Structure 1
Amino acid sequence: MEPRPRSFYGLAVFFGLFLLFLYGPTLTIGILSFQGPGGGLTFPMQGVSLHWFYDLFQQQAVGDIWGSFRRSFVLGLMVMVVTVVVSVMGGLAFRRRFPGSNILFYLIITSLVIPSILVSLGVGLIFSQSGLPVHWATSGFGSQLTWTLPFGLLIMFAVFNRFDKSYEEAARDLGATPWQTLRHVVIPIIAPSLIGVALFGFTLSYDEFARTLLTAGSYNTLPLEIFGMTTNVTTPVLYALGTLTTLFSLLIIGAFLFITWWSTRRKAKRGSDAGKGLL
């Protein structure tokens, strides 16, 4: 086995420093959340305990942590469902060129480059000037869709660009209607990508701050609540909240990855069983 060049070790050290820079703040918050009862917001730690996690579930003098968590969770689910449905519909529509398709595409992508705070301000003004309530489930929902939909559509564009149309042609030759072809052929094939779009939609919504800042109305989502707590809470309970929300995000990502693995394995097994049946 040939020895590795010196450049390999240099790049390995650089990559390790990059990972430390990327995840160091999160690890620091996770460590400090295990401070003892007399601990503060900085090092050195004063004991190790679960005191602040226990305190997090008690009545807080400031804020509405669990109410904001429920709002963020519900809003994330709403954004996820709409992002998946609209992304699939948009991906199917863009499989064929139509008048104005290029303009529409660039209009969709433009929302990604506009500063998020301006989008939040614009959506909030539209609702308030129209006499509509500025609320996390209406204006906040619409503002977050301007962030999640372009990502979902870009994924679907890539998926359908590589999609083999012969599967649809075979289904139509066998007498399948367009709806049956979509339901029994197209959707099962692109299912892993749909799970990816759903993950994008939920996670981008769950931790979105700027586009929700001026559109949430009187009730905060979890990112807004955490930001507000930074000016009032001076104990590691804030770190405990950050640790739990990070673990929750990782749990959601893990669940989506498991669903992707399970659906891929199930599809492979069904294909194998079908092949054995033909034999």
Structure 2
Amino acid sequence: MAAKGRNAVFVVFSIFLYAPFLAIFILAFQGPQGGLNFPLRDPSLHWFHDLIDPRSLSDFRPAIGRSVILALVASAITTIVSLAAGLAFRRRFTGSATLFYLTIGSLVVPSSLVSIGIGIICSMLGIQMTWWGSALGAQLTWTLPFGVLIMLAVFSHFDRSLEEAARDLGANRWQVLRHVTIPVVAPGLFAVALLSFMLSYDEFARTAVVAGSENTLPLELFAFMSLSVSPTIYALGTVTTLLSIGALVIATAVLIRSANRRRAP
């Protein structure tokens, strides 16, 4: 009975979690006369075509490009800095506790206040606010704390005897880092890169004030919904979700293959 109860709870939770996504996927195939709700009328790819039609109000391609570039840059910076922070915090140093609390402090500050604060600083310094400049800085205040926390957790379970063995065999500091440390913590780095990409790609509140005149995808979607609402948003959600799942599957397969190669004799 206990097992059946756990299974029932899992099924209910799964339905609660994934039913909205399933509804969006289905309604994305509404015909030209279809609306935002069921029933599904004249199934077609009409709204997917509307996504890439430059004459339509819902041409999200420029915004998607900006969001992808911004997320890739934020992910790369977050991964590199998080790795450096994880290595640094393996040993206590003067001010380490203060630096740690300052790093994660932005997580408890409302996102809108962070965005407004960065906007005020840019105005005082005469810096033009852009999606690739001030918006990137705002998003890093969100992605970096998560990345640092993940890498601290990863290094807390790191077996240092592996590095000591490599040094005993004559490896220098950089060789140990490249051939021992990074391969061992690679799954954690992958988690940081993936999480920071998703956090940046979806970020709205911290980007809203400091993105400048060119919108990222969340801002463009908000502006579109304030003017007109159509099944185009369902098509956009479907494409974005499928691309995200595809990228996750490919990256996971690459990691598994790399791990199997390391284990092979």
Task: Give the aligned partner of residue 104 of structure 1.
Answer: 99
Q: Percent identity?
A: 52
Tell me, in whole angstroms, the C-alpha distance in 1 between the residues paired with 2:115 and 2:55.
Answer: 29
CA shift digits 1:66-97 (9 cap, x unpaired): 00000011001101110111001000100100
Tell me, in whole angstroms, the C-alpha distance in 2 between the residues paired with 1:60 and 1:237.
Answer: 14
Read off the aligned partner of 2:184 and give its amino acid letter. Answer: I
Bigger mean CA offset, 250-259 vs 209-218 = 250-259
Task: Give the aligned partner of residue 90 of structure 2.
Answer: 95
Give the conservation status (yes or no) of the 8 Å contact 1:192–1:263.
no
Task: Give the aligned partner of residue 214 of structure 1.
Answer: 209
Give the conservation status (yes or no) of the 8 Å contact 1:81–1:198.
yes
- The equivalences for 1:99-138 within 5 A come to 99-138=94-133
Match of 1:25 among 12, 17, 20: 20
- The equivalences for 1:157-236 within 5 A come to 157-236=152-231
Match of 2:134 among 133, 139, 152: 139
Task: Give the aligned partner of residue 156 of structure 1.
Answer: 151
State the superposition RMSD in angstroms.
1.6
Tell me, in whole angstroms, the C-alpha distance in 2 between the residues paired with 1:87 and 1:31.
Answer: 39
Task: Give the aligned partner of residue 34 of structure 2.
Answer: 39
Read off the aligned partner of 1:65 and give its amino acid letter. Answer: F
Bigger mean CA offset, 229-238 vs 191-200 = 229-238
| TM-score, normalization by structure 1 | 0.90
Bigger mean CA offset, 13-22 vs 245-254 = 13-22
- Is 1:260 equivalent to 2:255 in the alignment? yes
Change (3 A) 1:71 1:235: same
Report the CA distance between 1:139 and its aligned residue: 0.8
Tell me, in whole angstroms, the C-alpha distance in 1 between the residues paired with 2:26 and 2:32.
Answer: 14
Report the CA distance between 1:186 and its aligned residue: 1.0
Report the CA distance between 1:63 and its aligned residue: 5.2
- Number of matched pairs: 265
Match of 1:12 among 2, 7, 11: 7
List alignment gaps of at least 5 residues for structure 1: 273-279
- Is 1:243 equivalent to 2:249 in the alignment? no
SS of residue in 2 equivalent to 1:113: coil
Tell me, in whole angstroms, the C-alpha distance in 1 between the residues paired with 2:8 and 2:227.
Answer: 39
- Is 1:74 equivalent to 2:69 in the alignment? yes
Tell me, in whole angstroms, the C-alpha distance in 2 between the residues paired with 1:189 and 1:61.
Answer: 49
